[in-house]
Structure formats: C-alpha cells, structure tokens
C-alpha cells in the first residue's frame, strides 16, 4: 500500500478568536450546555413559566449543597414544589425541607394513615 491513497478528507478551516463569544441562552438546555451554576440559577429564577419536567434536567446538580439550597429557595419564592428536589433534603440534612417533603408525600400519609404526624421533626 505504500504510495497509495487509502483515505481522503475535505479541508477544514477554523476561526480562532481572541475572546470567547457568549451564546445566547434562550432555553434551559442552552444554559445547561454552556452556562455557569449562577447563570443556570438566574435563568430558572427568571423563567416566565417553570415546567417541573424541565427541572429534571438539573437533578444531577442537586448533590451540590449550595446549588440545592438555591434551587429550593427559588422554588419557594415562586410557589413551586417538586418532590424529587425536596427528597434531596435527606442527603443534605436539610430538616426544614425534609419536614415539608414528609408533609407533602401523599403515599406516606396513605401508608401511615391517621398516624401521619411529622411533629417529631423539631426545628430550632
């Protein structure tokens, strides 16, 4: 095969810039792809309509306590609740949110019936 062409590709040209060009964040997907945690939080805070299904895209980030606390605060400010977000309260030992999670969990209330009393979680 020496001297024979075995593969060929078209020429590629790249434009090298001195500064980073910011992409416009029109959707949560855009921000998740290229934004910082702060930009993601600001985008969620300023969304006109928050679809809880969209928030599933940030679940993996909830392991970061600061990010988790920020999301919970944003959701409280906007009057939103997502059991998956609040369930992370156990991981972060966030007893206020954990109590809210227990109070909102209908299956748990159904299982415990009249014994569904979460006053055992004392908040100082």
Q: Which pTM does this prediction carry?
A: 0.69
Cα separation, 94 vs 69, in Å, equals 9
pLDDT recorded at residue 58 = 95
Domains of the chain by residue range? 28-115
Q: Read out DSSP for 47-68?
A: -SS--HHHHGGGGGGGGSHHHH
Residue the block writes with tokens 């209330």: 109
pLDDT tens by residue, 88-116: 999 999 989 988 888 887 666 566 666 55
pLDDT recorded at residue 110 = 61
Calculate what percentage of the chain has a pLDDT beyond 90. 41
Q: Distance between alpha carbon 40 and the CA centroid of its chain, in Å? A: 8
């Amino acid at each position: 095969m020496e001297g024979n062409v075995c593969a060929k590709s078209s020429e590629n040209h790249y434009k090298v810039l001195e500064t980073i060009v910011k992409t416009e964040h029109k959707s949560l997907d855009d921000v998740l792809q290229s934004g910082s945690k702060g930009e993601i939080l600001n985008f969620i805070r300023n969304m006109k309509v928050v679809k809880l299904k969209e928030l599933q895209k940030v679940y993996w980030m909830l392991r970061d306590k600061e990010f988790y606390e920020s999301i919970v605060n944003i959701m409280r400010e906007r009057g939103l609740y997502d059991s998956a977000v609040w369930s992370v309260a156990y991981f972060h030992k966030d007893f206020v949110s954990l109590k809210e999670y227990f109070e909102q969990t209908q299956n748990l209330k159904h299982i415990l019936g009249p014994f569904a009393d979460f006053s055992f979680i004392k908040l100082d």
